[in-house]
Structure 1
């Protein structure tokens, strides 16, 4: 004979079973509502979308006549896409907008980003592609040896506002007189016109600057040598497989010597050969 307690138990079991059944039915719908991961999207579309920035050689170069892209970051993207059995799709953008493009799912990865704390709040970063050494371009006759030589009120140092050069100068050279300007071109003109004694740029840019205009000055690597990591930015994703894949691919490419080949190849776009690179400069 089934008593009232037994009936209550059976009802409870039935309710639990119904809840489990409902959960099992709802699970596929819940799974379908989750956004597609970056890794899955690339594998499905066979497209690796990156941002391209005009006039930022040797990172990116766009041939005006043909519309073809080349440069260090484009070489890397092409090889990464090939490894993922995909093709590169380049969307024209800017350094500033590239982070927003990642957030908006307009691109899948951004090459050549500095992993600043503010950027890390909204995107994720891979392991470093390389360490980009901080250098100065010094006017003729001005030849400091160390960062301490620059950290004096009488020394005028040009920087482009908001850049990593600007941030580094404010942290490292608090006593120097900073000439803060809106763009890298204005910083170059400041040295060329005598308004500044030098300007700070990372090595990949300073080599290009001096090659384009030797009258600006001389590239110097002050001691102690200081560098910043250059990474790939990727979208925040609960599935971390894409970031992990890029990390592994970068290490594999570095071990093969491919990263150095891509750097030297991109510098040749602006007529910089290996012998033009200052002794002791490492990427």
Structure 2
């Protein structure tokens, strides 16, 4: 017959009490992370919007947002969560902090990086991203340059990039000799290239491609080899989001990508960008 000392019994009771305490905490923490339940209760889904065509665009005159991530955010809020959708203007420098401080529920068009994953949770990717370089074909500084970043990383050469973006981080890591001009928006970086204050424009490949198509006489797009910062582009959310809530958004994106609906939204946004470029010329 096994014998149990008073100390052994006391230890068993203490362990059981500790386990019971831990189990009682888990449901409370899970309840706190029910993001969509809170959004539905508030009746509005807040989407953080930092401008970067064709992902997120904003008409200066009307203040209206467009772009394929805007379409996705609006569709997810209205058709899945059955709530109104509100777009909150922000910058790329502040978009992650806004998720952390609960200023918005979703950060649109975030590049998936390990560093950002320490601060926010990511949905599955809606699309992929790669950085390209855009140059003036007639720029004598770049005569004979190929498709390596090193071909452009020279004294006297200036790279223009939007501050706080994935492109900023990527180009800053590889450029050692050239100057990097960090500007607050896409329009400023493009103007810097067009006015020749900058020699190389650093941006997403699809964005640069659209700009190159609109300016075929002088522009040339360069896809760096090896690829520069090829990443998924997704929604950013609070890190304490529950697995169940994250699955809701992931299933929505996976289905829309598989049916080709996201590709159609990208084409639609691209047409809008090109139309805007032509009207401004």
Q: Judge same fold: TM > 0.5, yes or no.
A: yes
| Counterpart for residue 252 of structure 2 | 249
Q: Which moved more, 1:179-188 or 1:233-242?
A: 179-188
Give the 3 Å change call, closer, same or farther, for CA 228–157 of structure 1 in structure 2. Answer: farther
Change (3 A) 1:103 1:216: farther
Q: Quick check: 1:70 aligned with 2:72?
A: no
Structure 1 CA distance for aligned equivalents of residues 197 and 94 of structure 2: 31
CA distance in 1, matches of 2:197, 2:63: 38
| Aligned counterpart, 1:177 | 178
Residues 58 and 169 from structure 1, CA distance in 2 versus in 1: closer, same or farther, beyond 3 angstroms?
Answer: same
The partner residue of 1:96 within 93, 98, 112 is 93
Q: CA deviation at 1:248?
A: 1.9
Q: Which moved more, 1:129-138 or 1:254-263?
A: 129-138
Aligned twin of 1:57: 53
Distance 1:271 1:185, change over 3 A: closer
**Which residue, out of 205, 208, 212, partners 1:206?**
208
Shift of 1:154: 5.2
What is the TM-score of this pair, normalised by structure 2?
Answer: 0.73
Q: Out of 233, 236, 242, which is 1:230 matched to?
A: 233
Q: Deviations over 1:90-146 (max 9, x none)?
A: 222222332222222232111101234443222111222221121111112357442
8 Å contact 1:59–1:266 — kept in the other structure?
yes
Q: Deviations over 1:235-271 (max 9, x none)?
A: 1225222222212221111100011111111111122
Unaligned runs of 5+ in 1: 1-8, 274-283
Q: What SS class does the counterpart of residue 242 from structure 1 fall into?
A: helix
Query: Cα deviations across residues 138-177 of structure 1 (Å, max 9, x unaligned)?
Result: 1123574421562553572413344322322233344x52
Supply the RMSD in Å over aligned alpha carbons. 3.6
Q: Which residue of 1 aligns with 2:81?
A: 84
CA contact (8 A) 2:47 2:87 kept: yes
The count of corresponding residues between Structure 1 and Structure 2 is: 253
Looking at structure 2, the residues matched to 260 and 188 of structure 1 have their Cα atoms a distance apart, in angstroms, of 26
Pairing 1:135-214 to 2, within 5 Å after superposition: 135-141=132-138, 142=142, 144-147=145-148, 150=151, 152-153=153-154, 156-160=157-161, 161-174=163-176, 176-183=177-184, 184-210=186-212
Task: Tell me the residue number matched to 1:269.
Answer: 272
1:120 pairs, out of 117, 120, 123, with: 117
Distance 2:263 2:146 in 1: 27
1:155 and 1:177 in contact (8 A); partners too? yes
Q: Give 5+ residue unaligned stretches, structure 2.
A: 1-5, 277-281
TM-score (norm 1): 0.72
State the SS of the aligned residue for 2:93: helix
